[in-house]
């Protein structure tokens, strides 16, 4: 690595904007950039944005890239022509799915069409029993014959997924080898390469999804690397995985489904980095952007991971078995629209004005009142200080629309009525978001009041104190650079790959021995996979297992102790079980269900003390005062406005107050207290309120 390779770069490509963060390992400076995601040439957009942020590629040490490429290909149905090869008798594994209707009273309910049309679903003779034994060998001559058919049908990618292959992947490997020989240039993937857990529909769906985006992702990554080389980039490209770790670009090329939630994870990683640095055991990471809000739990610096992700949503989408940070999304963002329904009731969202045309106050043709319009009308967002004044906001137009479209019909006259209704929109968004946060905590048996609320994204800091009050949370934390936090978080990411296997044995001395062997086998698999691109001498493994009482199919996920003794494993299980159910059943048999290995490698990353952005201590100028409406008193107050970059560590203020910075605004309600922490974080102590703020 040349000495000049000094920049750590993160590029997070979202639907509208690409966010960039560049950390200079020599000067310890962090710089941010934002460019419109250039649809015709994503890569050009990133390279331009980087240069704007002062990140010279020729001095880049590494570049971490998060992208919505994969999820967009699913949503827009712009992937490859894929064939599915399955076990005889199971051609319809994708068509049949699991037979549920998540929208129960809709006579027309249907899931979105499968990624593979039925005439490209093929069966081959083979059979493997539930214990992994081979009942009928794979008919390789049938596979060879099939290859000709696939070629004739012009397929660009093939997914191979057999029943019970999670127990024995041999036939899938054989079939892949035969097909790859006969179909050079075709992207071929097997179910068990991506998941070795049971559930034939989910695995087949995952394989189909991987095949669907594989060829395109591979081409994208290769093109990206070529362009980086042209710019004399001496470092390595890493892709941001949905599991919260980055992976080598070669791994991403063969496992593109692992990038399905590549974008939103950056903020969670950042939240967990701060949680560790600040010693916060329990926090809720809350990210509010233009169209949605997202929340996730971070406990002891770790976030929860889900094994199954639904591309296109649970109600109508298809499942992908890949570890995805457990993020819950709500249709409430700055662009969410307030409207009146047929019964004249005030509603908020889920429709969003997005960034085009955007809120009315942006003056870009938006006509529907949004959450951002409400915040501007109420004075929480400064009309002339938004994005450091780069975009002047039209308060008048926003107020008029709220008046005409909502306040008048609802019977709230005058300027006071507009304030009241604007606050109503904020309150409705708050109710929707608090309901989501309550669901994720209740679902895990946690009490939301035990958590700190960690807010970021363009809208998070505006809503933080109000959400906290609703939830009974006392502590709110706003990290440095909340508006660019996702790319900042990405800079903190380690390299990570996950491996899992369905195990299914009771916890006994002998089964623990074989579990230890399985874990070692998974570690070897990990070393091979990760060792292609990384120095494995610093590899760290995390062992997890899913356990359950026999007869109860719900499994509980626990971290495994270093030495697998019955006492230690059962103890870890019982602790987790008691947390969830409130009691344990020592008389019941405990089954070891699934074994998991996470392989992690630390990467160079910024020092959090260097990204704090705090001012040197001294006099803190108040920039101004302006009239801000707070719901609690149902009245306007003259509120001091601060510029965040002028606040030194240790600075304290009591609300009401507004703290402005380039990409976000923090609102402190009356009596809330705020202190600037050592890492530049705003630590707010929320005063409980009887009524919503």
Scanning residues 232 to 271, which ones bind other proteins (CB under 8 A)?
Answer: none
- The nearest distance, CB 524 to other proteins, in angstroms, is 25
C-alpha closest to that of 90 among 202, 208, 200: 200
**The one among 36, 44, 96, 540 contacting other proteins by CB under 8 A:** 96
Binding mask 480-509 for other proteins (x = CB under 8 A): ------------------------x-----
Q: Long-range contacts made by residues 107-113, C-beta under 8 angstroms, separation at least 24?
A: 110/316, 111/316, 111/317, 111/318, 112/312, 112/316, 112/317, 112/318
Binding-residue total with other proteins (CB under 8 A)? 73
Applying CB under 8 A, does 355 fall inside the site for other proteins? no
What is the spatial distance between Cα 420 and Cα 631, in angstroms, rounded to a whole number?
Answer: 8
Residue 690 engages other proteins in binding (rule: CB under 8 A): yes
Cβ closer to other proteins: 661 or 693?
693
106 binds other proteins (CB under 8 A): yes
CA separation for the pair 50, 21 (Å, rounded)? 8
Q: Is 635 in the site for other proteins (CB under 8 A)?
A: no
CA 277 – CA 301 distance, rounded (Å): 9
C-alpha angle with apex 192: 190 to 195, nearest 5 degrees?
A: 120
Which residue, 582 or 621, is less far from other proteins as judged by CB? Answer: 582
* Closest by CA position to 194, among listed 175, 210, 170: 210
Q: Whole-number minimum distance, CB 572 to other proteins, in Å?
A: 19
* 415 in contact with other proteins (CB under 8 A): no
Beta bridge partners of 236: 62
| Four-CA torsion 684, 687, 691, 693, nearest 10 degrees | -30
CA–CA distance, 346 with 340 (Å, rounded to integer): 5
Least distance between other proteins and beta carbon 424 (Å): 4
Binding marks (x or -) toward other proteins, 656..675, rule CB under 8 A? --------------------
Tell me the window of 10-18, 29-37, 85-93, 148-156 that interacts with other proteins (CB under 8 A). Answer: 85-93
39, 40, 76, 108: residue in contact with other proteins (rule CB under 8 A): 108
Q: Is 364 in the site for other proteins (CB under 8 A)?
A: no
Asked if residue 562 has a cis previous peptide bond (ω within 30° of 0), the answer is: no
* Closer residue to other proteins in complex, CB, 164/486: 164
Closer Cβ to other proteins, 40 or 98, answer by number: 98
Token pair for 370: 């949004």
306 contact partners, CB below 8 Å, separation of at least 6: 323, 324, 325, 326
Binding positions for other proteins, 188-207, rule CB under 8 A: 198-202
578 interacts with other proteins by CB under 8 A? no
316 binds other proteins (CB under 8 A): no
Q: How far apart are CA 282 and CA 562, in angstroms?
A: 24
Considering only 15, 117, 357, 363, the residue that binds other proteins (CB under 8 A) is 117
Least Å distance, CB 559 to other proteins, is: 20
List, as own/partner pairs, every contact residues 135-144 make where C-beta atoms lie below 8 angstroms and the sequence separation is at least 24, other chains included. 137/171, 138/171, 138/174, 138/175, 140/174, 140/175, 140/178, 143/85, 143/174, 143/175, 143/178, 143/179, 144/178, 144/182
Does position 414 interact with other proteins (CB under 8 A)? The reply is no
Instruction: Determine if 413 is a binding residue for other proteins (CB under 8 A).
Output: no
Q: Considering the rule CB under 8 A, would residue 343 count as an interface residue with other proteins? A: yes
Binding piece for other proteins, criterion CB under 8 A, among 168-176, 293-301, 384-392, 433-441: 433-441
Supply 662's token pair.
Answer: 């380039």
The binder of other proteins chosen from 3, 154, 553, 567 (CB under 8 A): 553
Cβ neighbours of residue 340 closer than 8 Å, sequence gap 6 or more? 346, 347, 405, 406, 409, 410
Q: Does 154 sit near other proteins (CB under 8 A)? A: no
Is residue 230 near other proteins by the rule CB under 8 A? no
CB of 490 to other proteins, least distance (A): 31
- What tokens were used for 602? 């630390």
For other proteins, give the closer residue by CB, 161 or 272.
161
Name the one range near other proteins by CB under 8 A: 235-243, 351-359, 432-440, 605-613: 432-440
**Can residue 30 be called a binding residue for other proteins (CB under 8 A)?**
no
Annotate 643-688 with DSSP letters as a single string.
Answer: EGGGPBTT-EEESSEEEEETTEEEEE-TT-EEEE-TTS-EEEEPPP
> How far are the Cα atoms of 190, 369, 634 from residue 415, in angstroms, in the given order?
63, 16, 12
């Amino acid at each position: 690595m040349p000495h000049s390779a000094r920049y750590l770069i993160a590029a997070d490509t979202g639907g509208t904007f690409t966010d960039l963060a560049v950390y200079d390992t020599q000067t310890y400076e962090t710089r941010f950039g934002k460019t419109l995601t250039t649809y015709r040439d994503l890569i050009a957009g990133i390279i331009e944005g980087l240069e704007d942020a002062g990140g010279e590629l020729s001095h880049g040490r590494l570049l971490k890239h998060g992208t919505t490429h994969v999820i967009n290909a699913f949503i827009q149905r712009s992937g490859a022509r894929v064939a599915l090869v399955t076990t005889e008798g199971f051609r319809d594994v994708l068509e049949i799915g699991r037979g549920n209707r998540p929208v129960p009273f809709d006579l027309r309910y249907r899931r979105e069409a499968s990624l593979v049309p039925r005439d490209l679903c093929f069966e081959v003779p083979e059979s493997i029993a539930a214990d992994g034994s081979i009942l009928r060998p794979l008919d390789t001559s049938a596979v060879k014959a099939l290859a000709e058919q696939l070629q004739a049908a012009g397929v660009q990618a093939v997914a191979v997924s057999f029943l019970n292959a999670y127990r024995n992947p041999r036939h899938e490997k054989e079939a892949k080898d035969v097909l790859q020989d006969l179909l050079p240039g075709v992207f071929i993937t097997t179910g068990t390469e991506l998941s070795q857990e049971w559930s034939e529909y989910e695995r087949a769906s995952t394989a189909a999804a991987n095949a669907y985006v594989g060829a395109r992702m591979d081409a994208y990554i290769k093109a990206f690397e070529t362009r980086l080389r042209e710019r004399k980039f001496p470092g390595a490209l890493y892709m941001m995985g949905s599991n919260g770790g980055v992976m080598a670009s070669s791994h991403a090329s063969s496992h593109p489904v692992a990038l399905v939630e590549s974008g939103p994870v950056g903020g969670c990683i950042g939240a967990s980095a701060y949680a560790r640095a600040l010693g916060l055991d329990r926090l809720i990471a809350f990210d509010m952007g233009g169209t949605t809000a997202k929340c996730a739990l971070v406990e002891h610096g770790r976030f929860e991971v889900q094994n199954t992700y639904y591309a296109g949503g649970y109600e109508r989408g298809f499942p992908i078995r890949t570890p995805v940070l457990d993020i819950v999304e709500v249709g409430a963002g700055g662009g969410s629209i307030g409207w009146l329904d047929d019964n004249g009731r005030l509603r908020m969202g889920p429709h969003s004005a997005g960034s085009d045309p955007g809120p009315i106050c942006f003056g870009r043709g938006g006509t529907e009142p949004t959450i951002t319009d409400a915040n501007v009308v109420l004075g929480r967002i400064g009309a002339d200080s938004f994005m450091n004044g780069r975009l002047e906001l039209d308060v008048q137009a926003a107020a008029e629309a709220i008046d005409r479209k909502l306040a008048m019909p609802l019977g709230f006259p005058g300027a006071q009525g507009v304030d009241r209704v604007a606050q109503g929109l904020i309150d409705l968004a708050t109710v929707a978001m608090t309901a989501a946060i309550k669901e994720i905590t209740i679902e895990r048996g946690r009490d939301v009041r035990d958590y700190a609320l960690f807010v970021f994204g363009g809208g998070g800091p505006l809503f933080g104190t109000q959400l906290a009050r609703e939830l009974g949370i006392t502590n709110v934390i706003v990290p440095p650079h909340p508006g660019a936090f996702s790319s900042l978080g990405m800079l903190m990411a380690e390299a990570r790959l996950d491996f899992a296997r369905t195990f299914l044995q009771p916890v006994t001395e002998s089964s623990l021995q074989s579990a230890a062997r399985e874990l070692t086998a998974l570690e070897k698999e990990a070393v091979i996979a990760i060792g292609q691109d990384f120095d494995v001498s610093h590899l760290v493994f995390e062992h997890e297992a899913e356990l359950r009482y026999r007869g109860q199919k719900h499994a509980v996920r626990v971290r495994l102790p270093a030495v697998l003794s019955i006492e230690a494993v059962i103890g870890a299980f019982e602790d987790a079980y008691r947390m969830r159910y409130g009691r344990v059943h020592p008389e019941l048999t405990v089954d070891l269900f699934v074994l998991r290995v996470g392989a992690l490698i630390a990467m160079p990353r910024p020092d959090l003390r260097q990204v704090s952005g705090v001012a040197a201590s001294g006099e803190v100028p108040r920039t101004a005062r302006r009239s801000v409406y707070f719901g609690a008193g149902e009245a306007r107050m003259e509120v001091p406005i601060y510029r965040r970059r002028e606040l030194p560590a240790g600075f304290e203020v009591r609300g009401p107050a507004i703290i402005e910075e380039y990409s976000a605004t923090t609102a402190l309600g009356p009596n809330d207290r705020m202190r600037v922490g050592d890492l530049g974080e705003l630590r707010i102590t929320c005063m409980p309120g009887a009524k919503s703020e």
